[in-house]
Structures are given as C-alpha cells and as structure tokens.
A and B are shown apart, each in its own frame.
Chain A
C-alpha cells in the first residue's frame, strides 16, 4: 500500500508534460521564413502597397493629402461645420495633434518598414530567378523613395529608419535633415531604375518610366527650397526627357478623350496610380461625398478658393475641373447659392456608379504624364536660362488639350518657368501639387496675400516655419528627439 502511494506521488511530480507546453503556432506567419520564397516576398510587397491604401488610417486614399496642402491657393474648406482640422491647414495654425496628418505619416512609415524588410532580406529567397526577385525589390525601392519624398516635403527633417527590426534605441532616433533624406531617395530610385522593367506588371505598379518620372520630380524639388541645389534642374530635365523620348515603350501619353475621364484612372495618362477596388476592401474616400456640397448631401471637405477659380482660364479643362451647378431636389442651383457659396471639384466626382458615396473604386493618381511634360518644360528653362523648342512643345501639348492657345514664344527662361508654374496650378488644380510648387519656389505668402474676402484668411504671418508640418504629437511625446 505504501509503495503504491509513493508510486502515485512520483507520477504526480514526473507528469510534467513539456511537449504539451511547447508552442506550435500553426497558421501564423512568423519569423524569417516569411520572406524565404517568391510568394512571401511578393506578399510583403503587396503589404507595402497596401499600407498606402487603408482608408482613414494609412496612406493616400483619404482626404489627408488634400487637407495637408490646403495652404495653397487652389484649396480651401468649409468655414463652419465640422471642418476645424481642415481649417488649421488653410489658416496656417496646424496643431501637432491634427489627425488629418496621421494617414500620410503612418502610411509612409509603414510602407518604409515593409520595403526596408524586403530590401534587407530578399537574399533569403530560395526560389525564383534573379530577374524576378529584382523586379520585386525594384518596386520596393521605388515605394520607399516615394514615401520618404512625401515625408520630407511635408515635414522637412524626419527620422530615417535604418532597419525593419525593432530595438529600443529606435525610440530615441534623431531626425535627418532633408539633404540626407534626399540622398537616400536618389539612391533608392537609382536602384529602382535599374531593376524595374519597362512594362508595368499591373496597372497599379510602376514601370521604369514611372521611376524616372518620380526621380525627375525629386530633382525639380531639390533644385528649389530648402536644398536650393540649382544643378538639379538639368538632371530633372534630362530625366523627364528620357521618359518623353521613350513614352511609347512605357505606354505613356496625354489622354485626349475628355479631361475628366483621366480621373477615373486606367488611361495612358497614368504614370503611377494607386488603384482601389471599392466594396469595403480598398476604397477611395475623397472622391464622392467629400467633394460635394452639403446641399447635395456631401461633406463639403474641400473646394477651390474663389480667386483661383476666377483666375482659372476658361475652356474644356476648366469645365471638367469644377462643378458650378448642383441639382438639389430636382432644381438646379448655381454655386453662388450652395451653403458655402463656392464651386466644387468635379475631378473627384464619381463618374460611374453611385455618386453619393464615400467608398468608391476610384484611383489615386500620384503621377501623370502631364507632370512629366511640365517638369521637363520648367526644369529645362530654369537649367539653361532659356526654353528650347521641346520645352515649348511640352507645355503647348498640355495647353492644347485644355483648349488654350500656344504659349507666347520667345519668353525668357524665368518668364517661361513662371508660365509653366501657372499652367501646373491649373492642370493639377486640387491634385496636391500646387502647395509643393509654392513651397519649393517660396511663394506661399505671395499666393495667400490677396485672398477673396469670401475665403478663410491666414491666422497670422506666413513664414518659412509654416512650410513644414509639426511632427505628429503622439510620436513626439514618445520620442522627444523629434
């Protein structure tokens, strides 16, 4: 009997089930195995794009980039309603807690994390050819450059993330100056230019032409404030020219069958476009209700400033850019009678399907071929001090489509460049381009100097401090080095 009890007690103590206590995380994508094959690498790249298209949370499918560029003269917002946060951008008193900044800040950094992971670890891929791997990694370089470009243009000095692996010292990361950030952007784009092929793998991806177009845009910006490296104008012109010269190979051109059509995406004009599917998966939330007046049941988030609208040259482009009449309860009313007494952007109206929604499958067009033409025109003129014939050809192609006459020939380099900048403001009205032009050319104060009394006025003097956004407050609270 006693022996039996000892036996039982022994079994009590020895019955430790170490095997049962070892975890087997079935179905969990964990550790380095994730990137060990082509499918995993591709999935990581898809995730990188995905972070640019999570509505309201991360990326460019929300009204964030429009809100953040409201300091320009082509965009303003509702003076009342629930538009406090939008008004902060328009009136140049942006709080570090303005939540409209978050999707861009987070979206870019999340994509930087994913692409850095790909770039640092693609060596581990066991299958696939080198070419196939390079295609994926090339796109990753492109996306990372695109994200740093957006970050440094909006926030100036920003942290550069050295690794995708977390360590506590990253919580004390210092900011890098724009010059450093731009150097990284150029390096990444150089790699992308090498590895991305001429043909887009999908409509929503870059090809070599898209990489070059982005690089041209980067050069143009580097030539202006804050780096003011004028030598970059020539590089911008050269890079844009490479795209123009090979537009057939890249499948780019100006789309001629109706200006508004471009904004539904999928035309030859697309150089780099983020596509959305709608239907509660990926969707675009700044097309539709966001751009419609309250009278139509819209949210009235953004619309053009009055002086900009009045100065906009008439023609088919103007007609396609702005909505000036609205149907309310069967009656058509002019823009002067809507509650905000402003016209709205027709570009971002939903062209097919239910227009009264904030979830559509519309694209976010990041770079279109007109950009390439006008980058070339401006950069060529500024680089050499005199526009050449190709520069005139480039701007006139855009003007013709807009229903405008040829630009006056024989302009000086400066005057020609100014014309291009004006042309850019109309061509890309509302497309978050104008703000970056005003910043790099240090014209923000001038553009806001004589506002229509019917528009919101700046809260104070517009200094260069206002060119950059405050680092989002929640991150700055965690890392005081920001």
Chain B
C-alpha cells in the first residue's frame, strides 16, 4: 500500500519539460489568439491549452515573422496580453498573468492616479487589483488599501476587483485621486465550494450542500463546533444532551438511520477523513460545508451515510501579517431548577406517608416545627454554582505570492454549573502552504490539542449523579455533620450518596492529547489535470482517571487509570481533471484512491482500599490492586472513487460518482461494496426566457439519487468471543474466568442507505433573498442491529443485518438581507427541518426488539427497556404504560386489580385484570420531528446585534427527574417534589390524579404519568458588539467590544429542568431526562484586537 503511494509520487516527479527547436512563418493582421494558436499548432505540432474565458480578455495580434523560433513567436503573441505561458512536453499552457507581476510595457503614461480602496465600513482593503481596462497594466493595493497606477490619457477606465467583492469600473476622467468603496458580493454563487475530494463552483452544484460561513457566527461566543452548527443549517439537528462544558452533544444530519452504529456525521477537516470533532477551534474555521444528500455524501461511501461535515481551516493570504486577538469572559448559572419541598413540608409529608402505611412517623412535631423555623438544605443550591469561564484566542496569518501561513492558539478554561466540574482546552494550529514551482504546490496543516475535563460527563444513572441525588435527598439532612464531615446517609429518603460529596469525592477526569497532521503535494500535470497526494496522521491519546472516596462508595475508596491510544493513518491520492470545451461544455473528472487504518490500544489499572485517599490515582501501589486490563483493536478501509461532472453553459448540470470500499470488519464475501450516485441540475435563470427580468435572479432545480453505507459495527464483530467474569472461592480473593460474550455473525455486511433528494434554489431581487428547499427520502436497509437475546439464552448480544428504517422530510432555508440601506443592515437566516422517522421492518424473526441497554433506573422504576424498535414506529419509540389517573371511590373495578381508591390506575390493554408486561405499548417518541433556527444580524454603523433562536418540536421525554422526586420508590423512599402536596388524600382530596400514600399502590414510572412533551423554543444567543473603527484610532489597531447572553430564555411546557438535556447519547435512548447535566444560562463579555 505505502509502496504504491510512493511509486505514484516518483512517477509524477519524473515528468519533465522537453526542448523545442522548430520555426514558424506567419503573417496576420489583427487576428485572434485562438486562430494564431491553431496556425502555430499546424506548423510546429505543439498543442495549446487554454480556456475560452482566458482568451476572451486577450487583445488581437498582428504578426509578421519568417522562420522565427517558437519562443520568439510566442513572445510576440503574449506581449501586452494579460496572459503568459509555459511549455511542457510539447504543450503550450496558457496562464493568466499575475496582476502584480505585470510590467508596464506600454508607452509612458500620461497620468499617475493614486487612491485608496476601502470596504463599506471604511476599512482598507489590501490586495485589490487595479487594472486599466483593455490593457495589461495593473497594480495591487498595499496594506492600507492604497495604490498608485499610471494610466494613458484619454478615456481610461479602472477595473477594480477583489475576491469576494463586486468588481467596479471607474472612468478616470482626468482625475488623479480616485478612492473607491468596494461592496461585498451579495451572492456567493461564484464562490468555490469544497466538496468531497475537490472543489466546485457553487452555482454548478447538483446536490444538497449547506454552507456556513464564519460571518454567521463570528459575533457569537462559540467555542465548539456544535455551537457553530446549532440551528444554522437546515436539516442539521444539534442537541446538547449534556449542558456541561465539553459535555456530550448529538449532531444529526437528516435524522438517524442506524440503530447500532453511530449516527453522528463524518467530519473531514482539510481532507482528513474522520477528524475529531472536539478538537476543532471555531476560530480556525474558514468555511463549513454540510453534505446532506447521497450525491454529495456517496463519495465518502461507507462513511457517508450520516452526512458529512467538511471543514476548511483558515489559510494565510498574501496580505502580509495580520494579528487577531480575542479574549472572552463569561459567567453561567443553571437555567432552571425543580420545585422541591422545603424541610418543614417535607417532614410533614414523610410523616403522612408513614401514618398512611402504618409505620412510625420519622419526625416528631417539635422536629417539624424546628425544621420549619430553621429551614433545611436546598440540595440543588448546594450542587449548583455560578460558573466562570475565560477564553483567549490569538491568530497570526500572512504570506506572500508563493506561500502563506496561519498560526493560531486558543485557551479555554470553563467551569460547569455543577460544583467542581470544569473543562480546559488548549489548541494550537499551524497551516502553511507554498507554491514550490509553477506546477507543484504543497501544504502542511498541523494541529495539536490538549484538553482536560473533570466531572463533565456525570453518570446519569441515579446513585452516582449529583443531580439525581440532590432531587431525592431529604431537605432535613445537613450537608455536613457537626464535625464538618459529609453526612454519609439520608435516613429518610434517598438510599444513595450525599449529592455534594458526589461532586467532590467522586472524580472523573479525562485528559486528551491530540495531534493531527495532514499535508501533501499538488502537481499540475497538464492544464486542467492535477494530482493530489495527501498523507494524514491522527494521534489521539487519552487518559481516563476516576476516583471514588469512601463517602460515596460505601466505605471503600477506589480509583483507576485507563490509558488509551488511537493512531489513525490516511493516504489519499486524487486525480482531478477539468476541461472546458468550445460551445460551453465543461467536464470535471475525479479519481481517488484512499486507504485508512486505525489502531487502538488501552491499558487499565485500578486499586481499592486506598491507604491515603488523597493520593487518588497517583499511587495505586498503596491500595488493594484490582485486575489490570488491556486491549487492542484495529480496522482498515481501502477505497477507490470515480466521479464525473458535466455542465453545459452552467445551465444543465449532471454528476455521477462511484465508490468501492473494502472494510476489514467484514468477512471475505461481504468485504467490498459499491456506492453509486447520480445527480442533475438545471439553472433556469440561464435560459433566455428568464434572462431579462428583475425579480428572479437565480433559479435552479436539482435532483439526486445515491447509495451510502455504514459499517456500524466494531472490529471483530464477526467473531464469537468470550468476556471476562470473575468469581471468588474464598472471602479474600477472586479468580478470572470467562463467559460467552458477543455471538459472532460471519454473515454481517454493510448497512446501506438509499437516498433520494429533490431541491430548488431560488435567488430573488439580485440574490438579496435566497431560498433553498429540499425534499428527501432516506431508506436504510440491512440495518445493523444489536439484538439482546432473551435472558434464558444468557442475555448475550448478537449483531445482525435486519430490518429497515425510513427517514423522510423536507428542509427550508431562507437567507436574506432584509435591510440593506446605508449604514443599517439586517441579515437574517431562517431554517426549518421536518423529519419523519419510521422503522419499516425489523426482519421476520420478531415483532419488536428492545434496546439492549436496559437502564433499570432506580431499582425497579423502569422494569422494562424504555425503548423499542418496531415497525411503524419511529426509532426512538418510548415503551410504557398508559396512566389513567387514580382509582376513584366507589369504582368496584379497583378491587380486581388489588387496588384501593387513590391508587394508580393504568390502561389494561389485554383486559386480564393484571397490569403486566402485556399492557405496555408505544407511548411517545424521543426524536424531535421539527427543528427551527432563526439567526439575525443587525448592524448600524459600528454596532452589530445578533439574535439567534433555536427550537425543537414534536418529541417527548420521560421526566425521570420528576418521577424520582415524586414516586417514593426505587432509590428514594420519600417524595420531595412540591406536587406531592396535591396528592389524593382519602376524604380530603379525592379528585387528584397523584396517587395516595398506600401499601397497595403500584407505581410504574415508565408510563404516560411522567411522559411530557418536550418542545421548546430557546433564545440561544443574543449578542451586541461595538467595532471601534480603525480611523478613529491613531494607530492601526482595530478594537471590537462585545457582550452576549446564551440560553437567555426558553419557552416550553416541559416541567423538568431542561427539555434539551437527556441521559444518554444514543439515538434510540434520547427520551429520558434523569440526572443529566442541564444547560446553562451564560453571560459573556469580551474584546477583539486586530492589527
């Protein structure tokens, strides 16, 4: 493999230029270059490579030569042209002449014009080309936007152009001082968009790709990629499952296809496939492309099924040194709290509970009065805090004509709103690129990141979640006893650990060190034909350390350290060929060979019974050693890709691609798979019938079809294997044993997603408003499913290809400059996504498959798996009982269920008078059906205001936080939520649907009683910045000041802490909110300096 790559490199380095000694005889008056080239070709056999576009700006030529050398003739042809040439192996390659390199070869100028070019805000624009129209005379503006140019007297016109700005033509009219304001291009249609393994003009795209440019988020305090994507791209759903800094987040493009595999998108950073999402510093991002439909993603084959996010990081430009420094400070607090009983009410309620069940009341009357007078412990206040954060970013960029550099560093230190949790991150990036020769260029991007997270991924299951404990511990218990030690047990309510101790005596620390390098060479083999050789390496080392002190671990301090190392290597060799033919035909061909491999190792050691608790993981020797463990796994993927794009006059567009992947995870017969795709587009506004009208400036229809795949399983899934299980034969030792674990399935194969997409792109009022709408159907088949076998077969897991899931929906994105008048501008981005997810089949063997990860929350709170996969239901279908309120007095049926009035009543589906497994059904879905994002930027002179709303709709959540606080079962023996005061009380309050305290009541928390609609609309960000214009300051330093607020308010009917938070990162398990880390309300202030 590696040898192949090397040979390719050598093969191309041997390409050499041949000599030429033929002569030309030619006499022509005012003839086009094209015709002259044809003549020379006839005489010499040399070919010319050029585009029509290149020659359109060329002046006509008069020639009269006899037996002149080819070189002489070419010199004459190219004299005074905006073009130059090189000769390569009998081919004359025509090139645009670099503007700065143009030497004034025209007769002496009559006038010298000077001036300054600025943008709309008055900022100088360096690097702008100023050209005298119709000549090759041109200069470039300096750092201050100033230029000096000699122009011939008469009707000279200055052509002023710069990438990203509308080109202007300014007649000189005898003036010597001409200052110009350039307007940023309203339409990005001509910008190049990075697509898989290449670039393409935005207007010629035939697939559903959404772009996010840095201007959409530069005014917001974003420090992670998910915050950049959240609500900004139609079809992309971002949920902060945990609100902790550095906590888990769910990003989904067009829903979740896979039950088994990771449904997160593939991240491609500067060509590195499968980059680490957490290590990307948003400040380094130049642009983001979100590839959504199959014609865009199929090029990534087996890795593209969940959509692809391509990130291009910033490059140095030829503008000279630019320095940018930003510093931010913020403070956060939890967005909401549960409404819990105060100590007095709690004590009275616990007494009422005891009286109702015939046990002794835990509190005396005096104690109740005392608690009422003194107040008790507000456990939520004890674990939540005002959290501070600071972030610093510095970037340097610059370069010259041949090379450029971008260097940036970032330091983030963020506290979480739960006591003692924090996230720190350092990132460093260095991007360099250089043109080695006219035909060879190279780049090398290196990024390193180190992060440390403490207690940010809190265990969401009851006993060890500070939040789950804070809402179930009695408010009557103090945090610490008289000696200042943590209270170890709650005698009345929770059976588990002190919530505050869980924040300080239970530590989970993850240290991550990442180094990623990607670099390569680009060879311009022939005009239009280039070869890219890219090599990438990703080294990820992370260490998980955990510690549990005696007080949170039943009297034994334990600790462990696990070291993980993952090394990923990638080699991508790409051939791109672009050719424009006469008559408006263009083709683009791409061929790729790619190899990726990943090797993972870990070692782990632990100890319990620590002699010195405060040493934690730093001296394992001084404790009772636990079993060390280690492991290894490796996968490899080999791929071949071909793609062809054809366009006729940028009007009729067709594209087709095919990828073949071979994966090590599957056995011989299923190892290779083909992923084809086709797409087509029609730009109606290029048609004559739509040409001459003002309203509709752009209209494109497009459609696509393609297959993508997913490996969806870990390495070695086709092998049956054993897992470790220990046993003791004395009371002081244990032995290692094995039990049957994974059941290997040699027939495993790819999970395949077929996606159809139809889209329309509309530009209105000279592209001031642009609308994109897409409709898609994604059918995933051969679904890889981990099926948990029944317990009588050992409860093992088997992975099989069964069933199918369909995602369909549509997306709408509207982008517009609402106000664009003078100093006031208002830009708005609005996007909607509607998604319907349905399991269409789960194979023939069973009616339903339960989520194998039964959470068994709180000792019997949820006796079955909460999530089920069954045909006709969405992937995240919630399984439970239907709650019918309480049994009312006089209802004779209550006795048939062994219940008394005031006890909970459930729907008896099969009517057998027993509430049992047979009475469970689908009661909701955890997967949002609709998501909305609305982003606004309003600028007035130096002020910029950003308002960003985000909403998710059409989903349910099992509010287990509330259940734990209400149900006095499982691991909490008493109710702590204020709603318990409204319970059914015989003879007093018999209309209530909150069950009475009784010995006969059956509580099933996995029921509609605790299921709530979790729809919400949130003001995700509001920020205001003030840009002190450079002109107001004596030196060249630009200063920007900003303040912002995140998650300022949420509109929701959900009664829990945070409708966005949920307990598990998996897709089918997102419908539970139990002890999960809630999101925070954050206020940020900061400053940016640039010079």
Q: Which residues of A contact B (CB under 8 A)?
A: 1, 4, 7-9, 11-18, 20-31, 34, 40, 43-54, 78-82, 84-85, 87, 91, 93, 95-100, 102, 105-106, 109-110, 113-114, 117, 158-159, 161, 164, 166, 168, 170-171, 173, 201-205, 265-266, 274-282, 289, 294-295, 297, 299, 337-341, 354, 356-359, 361-363, 454, 456, 459-460, 470, 472-479, 482
Contact = CB atoms under 8 A, between A and B. Distances in A.
B491 A294 contact: yes
Given A82-B859, A282-B734, A338-B360, A12 B593 contact: yes
Given A44-B737, A50-B737, A53-B728, A20 B632 contact: no
Nearest to B898: A459
B314 to A, nearest CB: 32
A337 B789 CA distance: 48
Contacts of B609: 279
Nearest to B633: A25
Contacts of B969: 82, 84
B740 A117 contact: yes
25 contacts: A8-B8, A8-B12, A15-B593, A23-B665, A25-B633, A47-B722, A47-B738, A51-B739, A80-B968, A82-B968, A91-B898, A99-B856, A117-B740, A161-B792, A166-B793, A275-B728, A275-B730, A276-B728, A337-B360, A354-B555, A357-B555, A474-B865, A476-B917, A477-B917, A482-B792
A461 to B, nearest CB: 12
B698 to A, nearest CB: 38
Interface stretch (B328-336, B370-378, B437-445, B712-720): B712-720
A105 B790 CA distance: 11
Interface stretch (B623-631, B829-837, B1076-1084): B623-631
Contact of A204 (B359, B492, B729, B1001): B729
A49 B633 CA distance: 29
9 nearest A-B residue pairs (beta carbon): A473-B917, A46-B737, A47-B737, A80-B357, A204-B729, A202-B729, A97-B863, A50-B727, A50-B725
Interface of B: 1, 4, 7-8, 11-12, 14-15, 89, 353-354, 356-360, 362, 488-489, 491-492, 495, 553-556, 558, 573, 591, 593, 595, 597, 608-609, 624, 626-627, 630-634, 636, 638, 640, 662-665, 671, 715-716, 718-722, 725-740, 743-744, 789-796, 798, 845-846, 848, 850, 854, 856, 859-860, 863-865, 898, 914-918, 968-973, 997, 999-1003
A90 to B, nearest CB: 10
A205 B354 CA distance: 45
B359 A79 contact: yes
A85 B631 CA distance: 40
Given A15-B1, A28-B719, A102 B662 contact: no
Nearest to A102: B791
A322 to B, nearest CB: 19
Given A50-B739, A82-B971, A166-B743, A105 B791 contact: yes
Given A85-B860, A339-B362, A456 B999 contact: yes
Contact of A110 (B360, B665, B794): B794
B864 A97 contact: yes
A161 to B, nearest CB: 7
Contacts of A13: 640
B731 A363 contact: yes
Nearest to A86: B860
A130 B609 CA distance: 41
A98 B914 CA distance: 13
A478 B846 contact: yes
Contact of A166 (B11, B789, B848, B1001): B789
A45 B634 CA distance: 30
Contacts of B726: 46, 50, 281-282
B739 to A, nearest CB: 4
A204 B15 contact: no
B194 to A, nearest CB: 23
A43 B734 contact: no
A159 B968 CA distance: 36
Contacts of B846: 171, 478
A7 B1001 CA distance: 79
A341 B354 CA distance: 12
Contacts of A363: 731
A166 B796 contact: yes
Contacts of B794: 109-110, 113
Nearest to A336: B360
Contact of B491 (A82, A274, A297): A297
Contact of B353 (A80, A164, A278, A354): A80
B1002 A25 contact: no
A93 B1002 CA distance: 11
Given A54-B725, A82-B969, A278 B731 contact: yes
Contacts of B558: 280
A49 B638 CA distance: 44
Contacts of B554: 357-359
Nearest to B526: A1
B725 A475 contact: no
Contacts of A166: 743, 789, 793, 796, 798
A372 to B, nearest CB: 21
B636 A45 contact: no
Contacts of B790: 171, 474-475, 478-479
Contacts of B662: 16, 18, 21
Nearest to B865: A474
Contacts of B734: 277, 281-282
A4 B14 contact: yes
A337 B360 CA distance: 8
Nearest to B915: A95
B731 A361 contact: yes
A284 to B, nearest CB: 9
B916 A473 contact: yes
Contacts of B736: 43, 46
A1 B730 CA distance: 77
A44 B914 CA distance: 41
A233 to B, nearest CB: 32
B179 to A, nearest CB: 51
Contact of A113 (B740, B972, B1003): B740
Given A281-B734, A282-B728, A295-B491, A21 B357 contact: no
